Amino acid sequence: MSTSISISSVIDLPSEDAGQTICRLHNGHIDGKKTGEKPFTRRQAVSIVNVKNGASVIRYVMGARSIAGLTMHACAIDYDARCSLGLRRDETPELVIKPASFKDIHLCYWGHHDLGIQLSYKLGFIGFCLGAFSAVLDLLQTIL
């Protein structure tokens, strides 16, 4: 089973999904029972890449309830994702959706557009580094 899908049509998320960083796909792409037969599971982090310009965003994939126009080669994303990907309404998109890697997720949070999220992520990373450094120093003191 391929772990990426090509998208040739983008529609707007319904207003009740606004503010949630999700991407809605046709239920044929969502593996609700986690059998491995379909490329994505619910709430899995995915990377959406615009093939034309290389721009990408991270979103959490969800199935579609009953969104008109959401076919097997379409996705529903919010306005912010559309802008970040450089998509215009009058052009046909060429997107690839694939599972987000560990590196993709962390780089997304490192440069997140919401400064509160970006700052908390960076402070957490600094805390992790200082804790690891302290543990190494304690280990060296114990050994020597």
Chain centre to alpha carbon of residue 78: 12
The yes/no answer on whether domain 5-100 falls in CATH 3.40.50.720 is no
* Model confidence pLDDT, tens digit, residues 90-128: 888 999 999 999 999 999 899 888 899 999 999 999 999
In order, the DSSP letters of 16-53 are GGTTS-EEEE-GGGB-TT--SSSSB-TT-EEEEEETTT
Task: Give just the sign of the alpha carbon dihedral 89, 42, 99, 73.
Answer: negative
pTM given for the model: 0.82
User: Please, which residues have CB within 8 angstroms of residue 62's CB and are 6 or more apart in sequence?
Assistant: 22, 23, 24, 25, 30, 42, 43
Distance in angstroms (rounded) separating the CA atoms of residues 94 and 30: 20
Give the tokens for residue 84.
């970040």
Tokens of 6: 């090509």
For residue 42, CA distances in Å to 25, 30, 39 come to 10, 6, 10
Residue 130: C-alpha distances to residues 16, 134, 138, 140, 141 (Å): 41, 6, 12, 15, 16
Break the chain into its structural domains and give their ranges. Answer: 5-100, 111-144
Walk along the chain (144 residues) and give the pLDDT tens digit of each residue.
568 899 999 998 888 887 888 999 988 888 877 777 788 888 999 999 999 999 999 999 998 877 888 888 999 999 888 998 999 888 889 999 999 999 999 998 998 888 999 999 999 999 999 999 999 999 999 998
Q: How are beta strands 74-77 and 22-25 bridged, if at all?
A: antiparallel
